[in-house]
Structure formats: C-alpha cells, structure tokens
Structure 1
C-alpha cells in the first residue's frame, strides 16, 4: 500500500501545478485578530442600533419581548413627533394650546423621565449583549466609553427636556391662577398693564405707568391707551366703592396731599376696610378709576415690576431700539451716572429700563412715548425661536416680574391673540397734552379719542394723512421721543407705533 506524503513534504509541493505560488499557512494570531475586530464591530453595532431604533439590539441578540415593547414604543413616539411637527408647520396655535395645559405638561414630563431611564437601560443591555468580557482590553475600554457617552447624551437630553417642561408647568401654575374668565366687551379684551415702582416697600403700591391694551377678540389688532400718572380730578366707575367715596372725582381734602391717578392705589391701601373681599385693593381701586376715565370695562390686569423687567430683556438677548437722543441713566433724585448713547442699537436690560423710565431732562409724556416704543419692540422682536432658546431664563424672569389675574384657562387665548398682533400695526392714543388737560380732564373728549383710535385700528375710520405721518416722523425730538410737549409726541398718538419710534 503506497505511503501518503505528509503535509509540507517535497512530494506534496511537487503536486502544486507549475507557476502557482503555494498558499502560506493561516496564522493563528491573524485569525484571532480578525475575530477580535468582528466582536468589537458587533458590540458597537448593537449600541448604534439602540441609538437609531431602540429595541433592535435586543431583537437580534436578546430578549425579543423587550425588543417588541421598545420598538413599538419608538414607532409611537416617532408618530407623535410627526404630528407635532405638522402642527408646528400648519397649526401653531393648536400646538401652543397643548403646550399651555399643565396636565399635559405633567404627563409629558413623566414620559420624558421614563424614556430617559428606559433608553439608558437599553444601552446598558446592548453593552451586555456585546459580550464585553470576550473583547480585548483596548476594545473593551472603547466600548465602555462609547456606551457611556451615548447613554449619558441621550438620557441627559431627555432629562433636560423634562426639566424645561417642569419649568414651563411651574411657570404657568405660579403666574396664572384659577380665576373666573370674562368675555370680550364690544368685541375687545381690555387688559390693564401697570409698571410698579419697585422702590423699597413700594412693590405693588404705586403704579408708575398705566396702559390699557385693547385687543380685538378676533383679529388681535391692538390699541395701546396710555394714562398719565399725574391725572387728577377724574371720576370713578359709576356705583363703585371709590365712586361712593369721591362722587365728584378724585380731588379735595379727602385725597390730599396727592390726588393723582398713581396715588389711588396708595389711598386704597390705606383704607382696606372698604375692600374687604379684595385681594388687591390698590389694583381694584385703580381699575375703578381707569374705567371711570375711559368708559372701558377692564377684563384683566398685569403689574410689571420695573426692576425685574431688565432681567427679562437680558433673558431674550436685549431689545433693538432707535435711541434719538442721549438718555440719562440715573436721575429721579439720584446722580446721573451714564447715558444711553444715540443710534439704532440693541440695549441690555439696564439700558432698556432707563430708556423706558428716565425723566431727567424730559417729561412724563415723552417717557410714556418711549415706553410704548419698548412695548412694540418687545412684541415684534421676541420670536418663538428666541423664547425656546432662552426659555428657562425667560420663565424665571417673568415669574419674578409679573403679577396678574389672567386665569390659566385664558392663557391659550391671549397667546394666540399675541401671535396675531405680532404681524399687525399697533395703534396708540395717550390721554396727555395737548389732547387733554391732565389737571382737569374732559371725559367726553377722552372717550371720543379712544373710540376714534379703535375705529381707525379696525378700519372703520380714515387713517392719518401721509402729510401728517411724514411730519410726525421728521419733527423735533424731545426727551428722546419724536415730537414735543406742545405739539404732542408721535408715539403717543399713532396709527402705526413702529413708524413713530
């Protein structure tokens, strides 16, 4: 029987056809290296699968029941995300309505927290399925690093989202109460905006500025009605508590030494027995005065802390304003320490605050005009994108800045009206000289001026002529505002506030 040549013998080599190089024997080390790389790639792939579609790693290498739950949950979340994107593109109002519901926000927060924990657990399980103990040390360390990075990034992002949702919910609950909603009056919502003098011991006691935002209940078109703090001898709403105390108007010895509109709040605070059922006697008394002056029925009020206002401006990255003259920083009994320089520029919170309230070298009425320019700039320039980027800072600043009686049930309505107002011209009328003698106001003239401004805003009356608008834009500048005390300030009487600023 012939003997079979051993592998590698000369006889075996002779069997190789001429011109063909014999294959080198496979190295055991090379085979081991390839196997290690395959295991490493498999471990990384399982983690990436978990990142792209949670549950797929378990489907191919683990618990299929967990895989099905995770995968279908992910499909549902993608579907929900598609619906939200659709609402953002085609029905932003509906999306905002959902974002303002505390119950839905609580549910969303719980889902985000649960999602963060579950997704992190799937990453850990994907790491286990990658058999880390079978990997070489360098591969093992790399897999641990990748898994840790993905777990912390994904879970951290979801937990941060849950935190922001919690901030939004706390903001809504803290800021807005469960008061009774009121309907529109003659098709308009009238909201009293007050700037509180935030000096020591004065918060909420002395409104330093008062403006009614009269908003069309359908279109959102807004007329800002400014009332001077030094108005006196005005009537109160018929039949109100203050009307019974001052049947002939706010004047005489009963209100001395200060018988001005911004002193009504202080007088009411000194006579709380007259407002036994009121939580805010000063605000309620001020509303009685403003309703008596304007003939409008006030739906809601909001008090703005002027010192906290600067935090809101800083939170949104500043406000772009046209500064027409140097505006003093300081004064009002203190030294002027600096000036806001002239020019179109973005002002920070402190600069914007002084632009809105400085009286040094000017007068109350030019200041009222500047305040309306700030209101217009804030409405036009704070975009949804800005609000999202700076949401936590805005919520924190707003909670400390504003006190209001707008109920949570009405928040959705006013957010939608604000979005409509953003794209439209804002009209203004201020009850100041030369239109009104603030020491002895003619109530009939006041109410006629307000109605005329509302009619023009709604297109029911002729707008100001081009000649008048041109004169307003090119006239003198006094106290940083277009116009003069004698002729009036453009931003106080305007059918297009933006053009007057």
Structure 2
C-alpha cells in the first residue's frame, strides 16, 4: 500500500503566518488600549498590567480630583459668588498652578510607562511607529494643556498683585460703594499728575445699580472734606489763582511732606476734593492709564459705539490728522481713545458725555466669555492700565457687582453747565443733586423734572462735538436715567 503524504507541509506555513499576524494585532490593540486607559483614568494601565502600587496611587489621586471638582461645582451652584472668591485668591491660584504642573509631569510619566507596558519592541515596525505617534500626541496634548493652564493661573495671580492697591478694605456707606475713577496721560513724568477725567461710580452694594457722577476738570472754588489735610491748607476752598480740580493732584505731589506715609498723595488729595464737592465718602480710587486703556480695548476686540458726527483724531487745530466717520460700528483701541478724548470742535462737557458712553459700552459689551477668550491679552493690557487703592481682598466683591451691573440701567449726573456753574459752584445744590440722583436710582425719588438733558428724541436733538445736546441745553449722556439709551 503506497504511503500517504503528510498534510503538514501543505498547511503549516499559512497557519503560522495567520497566527503571527493575529498576535501582532492583539499586541497592537493592547498597547493602544493601555494609552487610552491612561488618558481616561490615569493609573488604570498600571493597575491592569503594570506596577499595581503606582496604579493605585494614580487612580486614587484621579478619583480625589474628580471628587473635589464635583464638590466645588455643587458649591458654586449653591453659592455662585464663591467663584470670584476662588478666582481672586492668590494662595489658591498658587496651589492650583503647582498642582497643574505636578499633574502634567505625573501624567506624562504614566503615558511613558503605559507605552513601556505595551512592549513596543515586540511590535512590527509599522505598529511600533503608530504606537509611538499616538503616545506622543496624547502625552504632549495632555501635558501641554495642563502646563498652559498652570501658565494662565500664574498670569492671573501676577495680574492680581499688579492691580491690587495698598488701601484698607472698607464697607459700603449707606448701602453703596463709591469709587473715584480717574483718567491720566501716560507720558513720561505725567502719571497721575493731572487727571484728564474724574467720575465717581456709586454702586449699590446689593444690586450693582450704578450712578456715574462726572466732575469737570475745570471746577474751581470748591471745598475739601472737613478735617482732611487739604481742608486744613484751604479752609475757604481751592480758590487760588488758576486752581482747578485737575490741579489738586499736582499741588499735592509738590507738597508731599503734608502727606506722611502716603504713596499716592495726588490721588489722596483728589479724593478729599471729590468728597468735599459731592458729600460722598469715597471708598476707593482707580487711576486709568489712557495708553493701557487703548491696549485693553484692542485686547477685547474693540468696542461698538455710535459716532454721531466726525470725531477728530490727533489733537487741536493743525494737530488733527484725521477723523472717525459717523455711524454705529466697532472701534479699535486707538479710535475709542480718541472718541473719548477729542476736544477739537467740542467742549469739555461734550467730551465728558462721550466718555460716559464709552464706560457704558465697556460695561455692557465685555462679557465673561470674551474675557476668558482674550484673558492673556487683557491681563497684559490691564497690568499697565490701572493704579488703584482697591485691596486684593475686595476684588471678588467688585467683580460680582460688575456682573450684576451689566443687567441694570446706568444713570449719570454730571456736575457741569447748565446745571452747575463750574467757576463758582453752589455746593449745597451740588450735594442735593447727588443725593437726588442716588435716591432716584434706588427708586426712592420721583422722576427728574426740569432736566438739563435735551427733551427731543435722539434723531431730532442737536449734536455737538459728537454728543447729543448742546452746551446751553446740556448733553444727554451727562444727565441720563439710562445711559445706554442716551448714547
């Protein structure tokens, strides 16, 4: 009987090749799975196929982070204001930064270990390259994201220290915070010497309802707050030759020996003047560097304003280099700055009205979302923009009030003609008008009668220097129940 050939050689080759390929695919999928597991639950790869002790530590840390995040989220849902307290805590920001850096390093090490556990040398060349590529993408993506978060936490912390002042925290007076906002030129040697504009923002401590009280820089013959250093020097008021409100800061800076221990005698003296004029207790002051303001507007992508008539750019007379054309559109930082500052063809009081419109637009249009999107640019601009007496402990309070104010009407009262004679102001009348404006904002006074603002609709009212109204009748944005509507 003839021998029957063995079937082995006919089948052994193909079977061995298929098994090898299947094993290679299994090893490849296992290597990828270990990396995905590390992405979803750091330490799970080690817990499954590596050093279980390392895996347990990593998984416990990950679960602890999730638990802390969940508890924090629930706390924020119950107490939304806690977000501002956390966001403006330098100690917490430092802790977050350090934890993010540690997490970035630890997670990267776990990815590298997951790659090792996947036994890359046992893979084919194509699979090995794919595993290296996937691991690299996941590792650097996660690490880069965490390190960028740490960078932002550091930038935010540095910004808080750059913006914070050395003032003492003070509570609301009669339910309101009063903050003096001053605008100053940023030229060499001029920081804070002669404020270009002065406005008291009186903010309801509960609702955020804000009244902007504008003070003209050319006000003269005004008193200082009784008992203050400036009142001792000028008991009859600031009645010297050529002495105006914007010169108080310069006078104080020239007589710093009268303000022992003060780092900002010019601002402190100006506060004494504003308190004497308005009868309000000023809690804090902030000096806005106009160059920094321009950069801030650019950082948020511009501000939409209604230009009523051509606004000159560049200065007075022959210094004018161009115009901002009429229309409602988004202006960049340079254009917004000149919209607020232009004096050619207008007067100080129409300019004050335009400045109020810029304040209203910034308050309404800079949302938390745009602030987050442009955070680093805003931080860079803001650090050069503001000098203030507001201590870091009060940042969360005022950020919360700012968000509330966005949904409220903003009222204005400007102490300018025809309401007030700036050369010889009737201080009793001024303080009565201030009290009336605040009462009206709180709903405790009847609507304004005999207002200096134009009575005609915006489309029919005269426009002077880019502002609705005239010097003789008053400007709408200077005396408004709803500043947004007046602009």
Deviations along 1:287-306, whole A, 9 cap, x unmatched?
A: 11111111111111000001
Q: Is the 8 A contact 1:302 1:402 kept in 2?
A: yes
| Residue of structure 2 in register with 1:268 after alignment | 252
Deviations along 1:181-228, whole A, 9 cap, x unmatched?
A: 112112111100000122332111110000001111122111100000
Q: 1:56 aligns with which of 34, 44, 50?
A: 44
| Residue of structure 1 in register with 2:468 after alignment | 482
Deviations along 1:53-104, whole A, 9 cap, x unmatched?
A: 1111112110111112212222222233334444565643211211111111
Deviations along 1:435-475, whole A, 9 cap, x unmatched?
A: 00100101011111111110110001123489988625341
Q: 1:492 aligns with which of 456, 473, 478?
A: 478
Shift in alpha-carbon separation, 1:472–1:291, aligned structure 2, 3 A: farther
Q: 1:299 aligns with which of 283, 302, 305?
A: 283
Q: 1:221 aligns with which of 209, 214, 234?
A: 209
| Residue of structure 2 in register with 1:111 after alignment | 99
Q: Is the 8 A contact 1:223 1:427 kept in 2?
A: yes
Residues 1:8 and 2:22 are matched in the alignment: no
| Cα distance in structure 1, aligned partners of 2:464 and 2:167 | 43
Count of residue correspondences: 484
Most deviating of 327-336 and 341-350: 327-336
Q: 1:200 aligns with which of 178, 184, 188?
A: 188
| Residue of structure 1 in register with 2:456 after alignment | 471
Q: Is the 8 A contact 2:203 2:210 kept in 1?
A: yes
| Cα distance in structure 2, aligned partners of 1:168 and 1:488 | 42
| Cα distance in structure 1, aligned partners of 2:327 and 2:70 | 45
Shift in alpha-carbon separation, 1:397–1:495, aligned structure 2, 3 A: same
| Cα distance in structure 2, aligned partners of 1:333 and 1:118 | 64
Residues 1:389 and 2:373 are matched in the alignment: yes
Residue aligned with 1:116, SS: helix
Residues 1:372 and 2:356 are matched in the alignment: yes
CA apart distance, 1:264: 0.8
Residue aligned with 1:212, SS: strand
| Cα distance in structure 2, aligned partners of 1:73 and 1:466 | 68
Q: Is the 8 A contact 1:261 1:289 kept in 2?
A: yes
TM-score between both structures, scaled by the size of structure 1: 0.92
Q: 2:237 aligns with which of 246, 249, 273?
A: 249
Most deviating of 236-245 and 76-85: 76-85
Residues 1:160 and 2:143 are matched in the alignment: no
Residue aligned with 2:179, SS: strand
Q: Is the 8 A contact 2:454 2:475 kept in 1?
A: no
| Residue of structure 1 in register with 2:385 after alignment | 401
Gaps of 5+ in 1: 10-21
Residues 1:121 and 2:120 are matched in the alignment: no
Q: Is the 8 A contact 2:317 2:344 kept in 1?
A: no
Residue aligned with 2:393, SS: helix
| Cα distance in structure 1, aligned partners of 2:328 and 2:433 | 32
| Cα distance in structure 2, aligned partners of 1:301 and 1:472 | 35
Shift in alpha-carbon separation, 1:197–1:25, aligned structure 2, 3 A: closer
Deviations along 1:370-421, whole A, 9 cap, x unmatched?
A: 1111111111111111111111111111111000010111111111111111
| Cα distance in structure 2, aligned partners of 1:342 and 1:87 | 48
| Cα distance in structure 2, aligned partners of 1:477 and 1:229 | 22
Deviations along 1:327-348, whole A, 9 cap, x unmatched?
A: 1111147621121111111111
| Cα distance in structure 2, aligned partners of 1:240 and 1:60 | 73
| Cα distance in structure 2, aligned partners of 1:183 and 1:232 | 31
Larger Rg: 1
Residues 1:444 and 2:428 are matched in the alignment: yes
Residue aligned with 2:243, SS: coil
| Cα distance in structure 2, aligned partners of 1:103 and 1:172 | 11
TM-score between both structures, scaled by the size of structure 2: 0.95
Q: 1:422 aligns with which of 406, 416, 425?
A: 406
Q: Is the 8 A contact 1:195 1:210 kept in 2?
A: yes
Most deviating of 184-193 and 425-434: 184-193
Residues 1:318 and 2:306 are matched in the alignment: no
| Cα distance in structure 2, aligned partners of 1:470 and 1:34 | 86
Q: Is the 8 A contact 1:195 1:305 kept in 2?
A: yes
Residues 1:231 and 2:219 are matched in the alignment: yes
What's the Cα RMSD here? 2.2
CA apart distance, 1:132: 0.6
